[in-house]
Structure 1
């Protein structure tokens, strides 16, 4: 375990009845960082939170907090707190009493409770709201109360189970900034669960992408976006153009019947691969100047760009994000750089993928 690791899961699996919801999960969580468990509904991300919090028991494997095995330690003895999706606030208690609830259970003196609640409210920018009823609070304010209630117990790790999902788009975006700023200011570890890839990319230091009870890929937001390991990650993290291809040689690939320079190596010549090019990396140009030629099928205005769909002569669909407008039914050229081409090997594990990158990057 690294010296700054606060939580580790070692070969953890979880089985409910005959259903395996987690398969051999091994992860390491460092102090003071913002982690996100990202994946579709039912992939096991909330189960990981429940195991860390002590609300569920691992079927196999070891869970450690600060290097100590906590598999048999009850939730109230772990230095973690959870903010739930529905906030789980008490409607019959005001803001002060909601935040103070855990401290009251611990029989903390009332004068100390008052000081700690005031500090927690200041952290979430709700000073002066002590006597407000929960029913009088907006969704964003209720979420801050839930966070303050968790922070008042001085956890080393804050677990957040899709806490923004009930908010409207504008408020959700605002709360992303607030949560990230709060985590950086407090310097404690956040583990955030979401199925929203934009949230994950915007807020995280490190992302674990999950599917069907397994961690498919982990890395920084930039790593995950620029270097997806397989089709699932490429499709789940943003928009992608994915077409079949063949490796010609190091730094050279063939797809749509042409050879192109690329930035990947370490794959055998002739090996079947998949090519990923992000829509924003495709530039509209003339047919004569284009590396590819597509016929424009549809075009939608998305506010900051046009989302354009075109098809090449082989029937491959291409999505383009451009500030330029195209004309439906016409042929256009598409230009891109070698570094915009990302190569994926079907069936490659994350360890194999990392080893291949290291072989030609370092």
Structure 2
């Protein structure tokens, strides 16, 4: 097995108020992948990024880089660069001077600096912008300059601290594609911090979801979206319909007063659980043939689909994404496939969840 590029071993970070921002954190980062640290404000994601960069020291535990301890190694001696949320560009320097700054500090020969800056500008799609003043550039162009300044040093790891948060929606979407393509072209490890779920799903090879200083779940975007381990993850990632249920036996669950076939198992008979059904997995049908009968409360047109807000007779709210229109006040039926029902145990940890999934294959 290939050695991880970065390892966090039992990392805890405590500030002056004795509150743990990170608590006994353990995870590994492989080389050449796009990772995203995802979570709400205050969950610890930026603290992790600063520790990888060398701007913060853990209270306890150790950080390894290619198997070597770097917990006490200064930031300027790590093969790591950071793109900050506010770009941190020098307003009194032009584009070339901003990008070349780090190379000049390292006393790289002028001819080599010019070659590296020219190459970096091509990679971020800003060829010919060398003499442009920073004040003359748009937000998206400034973002690209900040990226070029980071990659020109050829780091093994690039850290990105919510770098797209100040951009408008269209430009933000464009930059998501550009960042993903840049990472693939460079082949280096990206660690990206965001609180935007759609951004994380669109860009990442692997996502770490954090809450209260702990990694709640990690995995590919598809795995996390399709198989959230608990209420927090299911509610945080994408739109979800979450209802209380009872797992009667393997592949049979009861909710809203009805029994439904599903594909989950490995739980106790009659165990209290929660069920997740994604809005796009619910299909509109007539009341007679629907597995659920719901009354339409409201409807919004979102371009590619309608978002329909419904309630069943027990008061459970159901959000449906459909290309079919409905009428507020109308009773309709909802149907779904057994594989669309995802059953979650209450308070199940990621380790317990993984063990249960492995048991399915035995």
Matched residue, 1:16: 15
Shift of 1:104: 1.0
1:166 aligned residue: 166
Query: Which consecutive unaligned segments of at least 5 residues does structure 2 have?
Result: none
Correspondences of 1:132-151 after superposition (within 5 Å) = 132-151=132-151
- SS of corresponding position for 1:263: coil
Q: Report the more deviating stretch, 284-293 or 103-112.
A: 103-112
Q: Kindly provide the CA deviation profile for residues 221-257 of structure 1, in whole angstroms up to 9, marking residues without a partner as x.
A: 0000000111111111000000000011100000011
Cα deviation for residue 361 of structure 1 reads 3.8
Per the alignment, residue 255 of structure 1 pairs with: 255
Match of 1:72 in 2: 72
How far the C-alpha of 1:4 sits from its partner, in A, is 4.5
Runs (4+) of structure 1 moved beyond 2 Å? none
Instruction: String of CA shifts for 1:278-320, please: whole Å, max 9, x gaps.
Output: 0000000011110000011111111111111111111101110
SS in structure 1 opposite 2:140? Answer: helix
Deviation string 1:76-126 (CA, Å, 9 cap, x unpaired) is 110000000000000000000000111111122212211111111111111
Give the aligned partner of residue 198 of structure 2. Answer: 198
CA–CA distance in structure 2, aligned partners of residues 206 and 4 of structure 1: 17
Using the alignment, how far apart are the partners of 1:158 and 1:66 within structure 2? 15
SS in 2 for 1:5: coil
Distance 1:260 1:72 in 2: 55
Which residue of 1 is the match for residue 125 of structure 2?
Answer: 125
Alpha-carbon displacement from aligned partner over 1:137-186 (angstroms, at most 9, x marks no partner): 11111111101101111100000000000000000000000000000111
1:184-195 alignment, distance < 5 Å: 184-195=184-195
Question: Are 2:353 and 1:353 aligned?
Answer: yes
How far does the alpha carbon of each residue in 1:308-343 deviate from its partner, in whole angstroms, 9 at most, with x for none? Answer: 111111110111011000111111000000000000
CA-CA distance at 1:59 after TM superposition: 0.6
SS class of match (2:176) = helix
Give, in whole Å, the separation in 2 of the partners of 1:208 and 1:45: 9
Distance 2:303 2:119 in 1: 41
Equivalent pair of 2:3/2:67 in contact (CA under 8 Å): no
Find the aligned partners of 2:249 and 2:322 in 1 and give their Cα distance: 31
Contact 1:284 1:335 in 2 (8 A): yes
> 3-state DSSP class of the match of 1:82?
strand
Aligned to 2:323: 323
Taking structure 1 as the reference length, the TM-score comes to: 0.98
TM-score by length of 2: 0.98
